[in-house]
Amino acid sequence: MYNYPDNSGHFGPYGGIYVAETLMGALEELNQAYEKYRHDPEFIAELNYDLKHFVGRPSPIYHAKRWSQQLGGAQIYLKREDLNHTGAHKVNNTVGQALLARRMGKPRVIAETGAGQHGVATATVAARYGMECVVYMGSEDVQRQAQNVYRMKLLGATVVPVESGSKTLKDALNEAMRDWVTNIENTFYIIGTVAGPHPYPMMVRDFNAIVGRECLVQMPELAGRQPDAVVACVGGGSNAMGVFYSYIDMPGVKLIGVEAGGHGIASGQHAAPLTTNSAVGVLHGNRTYLMQDENGQIIETHSISAGLDYPGVGPEHSWLKDSGRAEYVAINDDEALRAFHDLCRLEGIIPALESSHALAHAAKIAPHMGKDKVLLVNLSGRGDKDMATVARASGIQF
Amino acid sequence: MSRIQATFDKLKQHKRKALIPFFTAGDPAPALTVQLLHALVEAGADIIELGVPFSDPMADGPTIQRSSERALKHEVGLHHVLDMVAEFRRSNIGTPIVLMGYGNPIEAMGWERFAMRCAQAGVDGVLTVDFPPEESHEAFGHLQRHGIDPIFLLAPTTSDERIAKVAKQARGYVYYVSLKGVTGAGHLDLGEIERKIPQLRKHITLPIGVGFGIRDAATALAVAKLCDGVVVGSRIVQEIENSTEQNVIANVSKLVKELRSAVDKA
């Protein structure tokens, strides 16, 4: 049976705890708290209550019949994480971590955000539980995602624009780490993806694993069986780990992670460290595949989707790649946009640009599969936040 | 005997404390790095921590982040830093050089090759900020096979158990981070240092250097009284930032001389 990470937080050679000594105490404290509460019936009951009544779980699975028919092959089913409160899977994790923070007596939470989805999900739970909330966001992203910035402010959070480095997600993460080390006594750092030092990759996966657990029950109900393949987009990789995790021990189910191909792998402007076999390195507390130059400096990435625009990837995905359990591919900006428009018009669902990468790959492989085959796509978020980006790509100005 | 140990032994004989300045290689310009190293020695530095620039310096405050960005604009990589140390060694065989930075540039070079090149260039110690002892066994094994000392950080939040763990792996000296925060923060708590040092001494027999938050002669003196060496980083980098390429050597020398005379009063 699959049983990762090991006690020291490693997924094979990946993961670990690569942080300055100044953070080790806080990570030990977090690790102990998580081990104490993850199986605690009261904690689980409170978490489940909020996932049901605040988040709106379980999210349904939907059979995209018209789209499947048009593609002419496998039947495509969508796990509707876009229907969650705040519009994405991210809130599964922020509810869990905020409840943990409360038990640890931390009145202040901080977060990093790229597109703003994790920032909004964190600001939301901070308001719900009466916590102070500070969100770090690259100044480039603050400009690109003005609506989400305002949303966070409405929810009572302070949004701090980060001016260092490339002024995007990775720099926001650096700045959140700096805040954490300075305010360690009263602050809980809610990391939004399955990256960072142990126990974050495991903990964020566990809080998102409800997605896959629901699918295990829902797929037989709706499709009569489990899927032949599960497809999910991968930036850091939290929605993918959430839906993959329950299927890892079912060898008949293929797992496919879809990275951002940006302007195309050949252009060099992408965010696909797994697909391109980037060198392994150490960033943000863990060892993983990492986009970097020959001097080990982290390079700037590109994707039309801000949520996938990250040079690393969660260490568990690196391990699933090496072990052969999951397969990783890349979808370019234009392919993702095409899937975005198809889903809008054929199914009446506006998907997030991140999730559109997973949809685009499903659209690529479905026609080559029999009509009796079943694909499950994690529709990780809704696309309302992407209106401006999609309009711009279509040459439309508001 | 290693250069670092020889340096601390000699200081102890003369009842003096070590002054350990830090700056980032390649800042403000690659051509000035070796000159700055020599100038620091002349101004009274006992050991020099030379920063290896990195794109994502997570443990550093804005001052050192900017110095890293300036160096990277000149495309200064780990290869260049090693070349700079080799050049410095042609006319200085006594002053220990400790490379300080993050793990990934070393990962990219490969630890074995890095350790070999350190030995060839005359590097004495390596401090990798984001490699705690738990993740360092293999990497630092390469360093020790080439006679390079792995330098470790200790923090106010480090438990007794972890201090003992670090004590087993550390060589040269240990670097006590005197405050909770990033480099260059301004709230030095002398009481905290005074309480913590005896706890460290229970496990650590190596010399203890203290850094983070030492901004002037007064704080340097106060800290020097409590430990074996004073590390000054952001304040020196700030001086570099505020200088021109023409007066940077003179300005930094003046600052280090002030710090030297303060530390010598301890």
DSSP A55: I
pLDDT the model gives residue B184: 78
Q: Looking at beta carbons, which residues of chain A come within 8 Å of B59?
A: 20, 22, 177-178, 181
User: Over 80: is that where the pLDDT of B187 sits?
Assistant: no
pLDDT band at A8 (very low <50, low <70, confident <90, very high): very high
Q: What is the mean pLDDT of residues A301-305?
A: 94
Nearest residue in chain B measured CA to CA from A288: B104
Q: Looking at beta carbons, which residues of chain B come within 8 Å of A298?
A: 55-56, 104
User: Over 80: is that where the pLDDT of B185 sits?
Assistant: no
Residues 197 through 216 of chain A touching chain B, CB cutoff 8 Å: none
pLDDT the model gives residue B182: 83
Cα pseudo-dihedral B253, B254, B257, B259, rounded to 10? -110
Backbone torsions φ then ψ of B156, nearest 5 degrees: -55, -30
pLDDT band at A143 (very low <50, low <70, confident <90, very high): confident
pLDDT the model gives residue A216: 98
Residue A352's nearest CA partner among A51, A78, A41 is A78
pLDDT the model gives residue B1: 80
> Per-residue pLDDT tens for B70-115?
999 999 999 999 999 999 999 999 999 999 999 999 999 999 999 9
pLDDT the model gives residue A4: 98
Q: Looking at beta carbons, which residues of chain A come within 8 Å of B102?
A: 282
pLDDT the model gives residue B239: 98
Distance CA B262, CA B266 (A): 7
- On average, the pLDDT of chain A sits at 97
pLDDT the model gives residue B13: 97
pLDDT the model gives residue B183: 81
Q: What is the mean pLDDT of residues A275-287?
A: 98
pLDDT the model gives residue A109: 98
Q: Quick one: tokens of A237?
A: 């990789």
Q: Quick one: tokens of A171?
A: 């720099």
Q: Quick one: tokens of A268?
A: 């060099």
pLDDT the model gives residue B180: 78
pLDDT band at A285 (very low <50, low <70, confident <90, very high): very high
User: Over 90: is that where the pLDDT of A27 sits?
Assistant: yes
> Per-residue pLDDT tens for A52-77?
999 999 999 999 999 999 999 999 99
Cis (ω within 30 of 0) for the bond into B28?
yes
pLDDT the model gives residue A283: 97
Distance spanning both ends of chain A, measured CA to CA = 53
* Beta carbons within 10 angstroms of residue B14's beta carbon: 8
- Single pTM value for the model: 0.97
Distance CA A329, CA B160 (A): 47
User: Over 90: is that where the pLDDT of A79 sits?
Assistant: yes
* Beta carbons within 10 angstroms of residue B15's beta carbon: 8
Catalytic residue positions of A?
90, 112, 380
Catalogue all structural domains in chain B, each as residue range(s) with its CATH number.
Answer: 3-10+18-264 (3.20.20.70)
Q: Looking at beta carbons, which residues of chain A come within 8 Å of B182?
A: 178, 181-182
User: Over 80: is that where the pLDDT of B123 sits?
Assistant: yes
pLDDT band at A168 (very low <50, low <70, confident <90, very high): confident
> Per-residue pLDDT tens for B240-262?
999 999 999 999 999 999 999 99
Residues 284 through 303 of chain A touching chain B, CB cutoff 8 Å: 284-285, 290, 292, 294-298
Q: For the sheet containing B174-177, what is the strand order?
A: B149-150, B125-128, B97-101, B48-51, B18-24, B229-232, B208-211, B174-177, B152-154
Please indicate if any CB of chain B lies within 8 Å of the CB of A184.
Answer: yes
Q: Is there a contact between B50 and B261 (Cβ–Cβ < 8 Å)?
A: no
CA atoms within 13 A of residue B157's CA, in its CB half-sphere: 18
> Per-residue pLDDT tens for A339-395?
999 999 999 999 999 999 999 999 999 999 999 999 999 999 999 999 999 999 999
> Is B149 annotated as catalytic?
no
pLDDT the model gives residue A249: 98
How far apart are the CA of B14 and the nearest CA of chain A, in angstroms? 32
Q: Is there a contact between B175 and B166 (Cβ–Cβ < 8 Å)?
A: no
